[in-house]
Amino acid sequence: MRLLALSGSLRARSSNGAVLRSVLDLHPGPSGTADIGALPHFNPDLDGEGATPPAPVAALRTAVAEADAVLIVSPEYAHGVPGVLKNALDWLVSSGECVGKPVAVITASPFPTGGDHANAQLRETLRMMTGDVITAACRELPAIGPKTDPATQRVTDEATLADLRTAVGRLTAAANERSATAS
C-alpha cells in the first residue's frame, strides 16, 4: 500500500510538515512525497491535447498514479487553501490520476479552528475531481504548535499521534479495499 503525502506548506520548519513526517513514520508500507513547490503556475495552454507537460508536472502525475492513496497535509491561509497546493491540484484535474483514488485531508493550525475552512475546501475540490475522499481519515488539528518538536520536526503529543495512527489506518484500509475489489 503505497502512500503519497503532499504538503501545502513550503516552510522549512512547517508544523504541517511535522504532521506529514509523523504520519509517514506511522505508515508501515512504502511512502513518498512530491515537491509541489517546483510546479509552474497552472496554464491550460500547457496542458492541452498533444502538449508535453512540464517535467515537474509529469513527475507529480506519475507519483499520484503510482500511489494507492494520497494524503494532503496543509495549513490554511486567509480562510482558504494555500495557492501552491491549489495549483498542484489544478494540474491534476484533467489528467485523471485522482479518479477513484482514496484521499484524505489533514489541516493543522496554531488556532482552535484547525484549518477548518481549508479542509472543507480541499475536500470539495477533491470530490469534484472524483477522488474518493475518505472522510473518516480526515482531520482538523487545532493548536498544533506545542504538539510538535522543532528539533525532530515531528508530532510529540501522544493523543494527536494516536489519532493520526487511526486516520492513516482508515485511509490505507480504504485503499486495500479498493485494490481487493479491483482484482
Which 111-130 residues touch ligand FMN, going by CB under 6 A?
111, 113, 115
Residues 173 and 179: their CA atoms lie apart, in Å, by: 10
CA dihedral defined by 166, 168, 171, 173, rounded to 10 degrees? -70
Q: Pull the grid cell for residue 95.
A: 489528467
Tell the smallest beta-carbon distance from residue 22 to ligand FMN (Å): 13
CA angle in degrees (0–180, nearest 5) for 121-74-167? 90
Please state, as a whole number, how many other Cβ atoms lie within 10 Å of the Cβ of residue 43. Answer: 12
Residue choice 53, 54, 96, 110 for contact with ligand FMN (CB under 6 A): 110
* x-or-dash string of contact with ligand FMN, 47-76, rule CB under 6 A: ----------------------------xx
Q: Is 78 an interacting residue with respect to ligand FMN (CB under 6 A)?
A: yes
**Is residue 150 within the footprint of ligand FMN (CB under 6 A)?**
no
Number of residues that bind ligand FMN (CB under 6 A): 16
Residue 42 as a binder of ligand FMN (CB under 6 A): the answer is no
Which CA distances in Å does 148 have to 10, 13, 23, 68, 88? 17, 11, 13, 28, 26
- Distance between CA atoms of 39 and 24, rounded to whole angstroms? 23
Query: Residues 115, 75: contact at Cβ < 8 Å?
Result: yes
Position 109 contacts ligand FMN (CB under 6 A):
yes
Assess 82 for contact with ligand FMN (CB under 6 A): no
Q: Which of 28, 37, 51, 79 binds ligand FMN (CB under 6 A)?
A: 79
Q: Which stretch binds ligand FMN (CB under 6 A): 11-19, 36-44, 86-94, 175-183?
A: 11-19
Binding of residue 9 to ligand FMN (CB under 6 A): yes
Q: Which residues contact 76 (CB under 8 A, 6 or more apart)?
A: 82, 107, 109, 113, 115, 116, 117, 118, 119
Instruction: State the residues that interact with ligand FMN by CB under 6 A.
Output: 9, 11, 14-17, 75-79, 109-111, 113, 115
